[in-house]
A and B are shown apart, each in its own frame.
Chain A
Amino acid sequence: MNIDLSFVWQAFLYGLAYLPNTLKLAFSAFLLSLVFGIVIAGIRFFKVPFLARFFALFVTFLKGVPMLLVMFVVFASASRVVNGLAALLHLPFSAKDVSLNAIGIVALTIFGTMIISETIRGALTSVDNGQFEAGFSIGLTRTGALVRIVAPQAVIIAAPVLCNNIIGLIKASALCYMVMVEEVMSGTLKVASSNYKYFEAYLAAAAIYWALCIVIEMIAKILRAKLGKYRTKLA
């Protein structure tokens, strides 16, 4: 099999031009998911009546659905939902004003919220309950103990998993290609559509994602070393 290396390079450069948008998709979705995920994890951790069960169901439901399907459902229902909302609230916008990027971010956020809420909840549960009790024993409120004692420990436990979640979202953002969002995947494939050298284009796309994930892993490693200071034992 012949590989046209110069075309791989060409596709690589072409795809690289779309890297900012891939980052925009993945990181907007990540930040939104983090906010929603923290709220949902908090509600489930403290077993807030009704809401805790509702979100447990929501998370379980989404877990069983492929990301691609979420993407298509959001894409297909976006115009109806947006127009419906605009009509209901008498707001002067319509589905025409919604960018494809926004659709991609919403779909990724739905997916990311499910995953990140589980990351945060897992981290909160893995902090020893004795930390809460010690907080209560010195007179902290539940929120006080959570914010001052438990959350800082949960962050450290969650950090490496959250890095994996970011990587997951970056890779999932390639699915935005399916709903015509312009990002790394679609960028590299676009150049291949003239000469059908798709294999080379795929290689180029893979290289970009790969490099991106390595950079994030490296940042994660540095963070881990900095955060885990208190865990070090005396030799």
Chain B
Amino acid sequence: MGGVKVHNIHKTFGKNKVLHGIDLDVEHGDVVAVIGPSGSGKTTLLRCINFLEHADKGLITVGEQTVNTEKASKKEILALRRKTAMVFQLYNLFNKKTALENVTEGLIAVQKVSKKEAEAKARELLDSVGLQSKYGAYGSQLSGGQQQRVAIARAMALDPEVILFDEPTSALDPELVGEVLSVMRRLAKGGQTMIVVTHEMSFAYEIANKVVFIDQGLIVEEGDPRDVFLTPKDERTKQFLARFNLSSQYSI
């Protein structure tokens, strides 16, 4: 059991209706790539799952806990957030904390792990993302790719049911994208449930076991990456994917 279920999520910003009733099923261990044009609502969907945006309507289930967004209490929201972790487009590392402190923060302040244990775990995680020499560095002293890897370690530290990735490589230059994707690839292979909003089509194709294409606040097409990328059924999906010219790259 476990995973993430999103049922009939609606979200409006002012007069702008962004999500028109989205259903999404993510099994434990799934890696789901959410793709779609800018402004389609992918990021909003992701942010609704951990209530950084409060959806107007719908049910959100993470692990065993279901929250009705229309009457979610602060306590429920907090409990739900504690089953998730997020990696942001602009990293959002805690500015005044070192790489190590960024990773230990959730362990110490939320999970009440002892400082010593938290630091040991944080070191292990930073090592695993290739930052063994950067424990004491502040965000401003790290490259974008390094910052994002700290952010991933910070998310991993909490052993969340799901890690939500919000365009994790969009702010990186092409050379740094690789190091972040390789960390994510390893994470996916390790069985971590992940929902990844991304423009990295090849990553979505290779790593995800499910691809969801969103346009104008609705899921247009979803399924196995092979099917969605190579034989898209919907006209809009075909149009969107045509630009990435994947069929030529991956035809047998």
- Chain A positions within 8 Å of B, measured between CB atoms, are 128, 130-131, 133-141, 144, 148-149, 152-153, 156, 230-234
Contact status of A233 and B140, CB under 8 A, knowing A133-B52, A148-B109, A153-B96: yes
Task: List 8 tightest A-B contacts by C-beta distance, closest first.
Answer: A138-B106, A137-B86, A139-B82, A134-B92, A130-B92, A139-B110, A230-B138, A234-B141
Contact with A134, one of B84, B94, B141 (Cβ below 8 angstroms): B94
Report the tally of A-B residue pairs with Cβ distances under 8 A: 75
Kindly list chain A residues whose C-beta atoms are within 8 Å of the C-beta of B140.
230-233
Contact status of A152 and B90, CB under 8 A, knowing A138-B105, A231-B140: no
Question: In chain B, what residue has the closest Cβ to A155?
Answer: B96
Q: Are A139 and B141 in contact (CB under 8 A)?
A: no
Kindly list chain B residues whose C-beta atoms are within 8 Å of the C-beta of A231.
140
C-beta contact mask, B43-69 vs A, less than 8 Å → 1, else 0?
Answer: 000000011100000000000000000
Kindly list chain A residues whose C-beta atoms are within 8 Å of the C-beta of B164.
137
Question: In chain B, what residue has the closest Cβ to A142?
Answer: B74
Kindly list chain B residues whose C-beta atoms are within 8 Å of the C-beta of A144.
109-110
The reply on B78 being an interface residue by CB < 8 A is: yes
Kindly list chain A residues whose C-beta atoms are within 8 Å of the C-beta of B158.
138-139
Kindly list chain A residues whose C-beta atoms are within 8 Å of the C-beta of B90.
130
CA gap between A153 and B138 in the complex, in Å: 13
Q: Are A139 and B81 in contact (CB under 8 A)?
A: yes
The reply on B95 being an interface residue by CB < 8 A is: yes
- Chain B positions within 8 Å of A, measured between CB atoms, are 50-52, 74, 78, 81-82, 84-86, 88, 90, 92-97, 105-106, 109-111, 138, 140-141, 154-155, 158, 164
CA gap between A133 and B111 in the complex, in Å: 18
Contact with B95, one of A136, A137, A153, A234 (Cβ below 8 angstroms): A153
CA gap between A130 and B91 in the complex, in Å: 9
Q: Are A138 and B95 in contact (CB under 8 A)?
A: no
CB distance from B126 to the nearest CB of A (A): 16
CB distance from A98 to the nearest CB of B (A): 43
Q: Are A230 and B96 in contact (CB under 8 A)?
A: yes
Besides A134-B94, A137-B92, A232-B140, 6 other A-B contacts (C-beta < 8 A): A128-B95, A138-B85, A138-B154, A138-B158, A153-B96, A232-B138
Q: Are B92 and A148 in contact (CB under 8 A)?
A: no
Kindly list chain B residues whose C-beta atoms are within 8 Å of the C-beta of A140.
106, 109-110
Kindly list chain B residues whose C-beta atoms are within 8 Å of the C-beta of A230.
95-97, 138, 140
Kindly list chain B residues whose C-beta atoms are within 8 Å of the C-beta of A148.
105, 109
Contact status of A137 and B52, CB under 8 A, knowing A231-B140, A232-B140: yes
Question: In chain A, what residue has the closest Cβ to B105?
Answer: A138
CA gap between A153 and B95 in the complex, in Å: 8
Contact status of A233 and B141, CB under 8 A, knowing A136-B50, A136-B52: yes
CB distance from B96 to the nearest CB of A (A): 5
Kindly list chain B residues whose C-beta atoms are within 8 Å of the C-beta of A137.
50, 52, 81, 84-86, 88, 92, 155, 164
Question: In chain B, what residue has the closest Cβ to A156?
Answer: B96
Task: With a 10 A CB-CB cut-off, give which of A138, A141, A153, A231 has the most chain B CB atoms.
Answer: A138
CB distance from B93 to the nearest CB of A (A): 7
CB distance from B221 to the nearest CB of A (A): 29
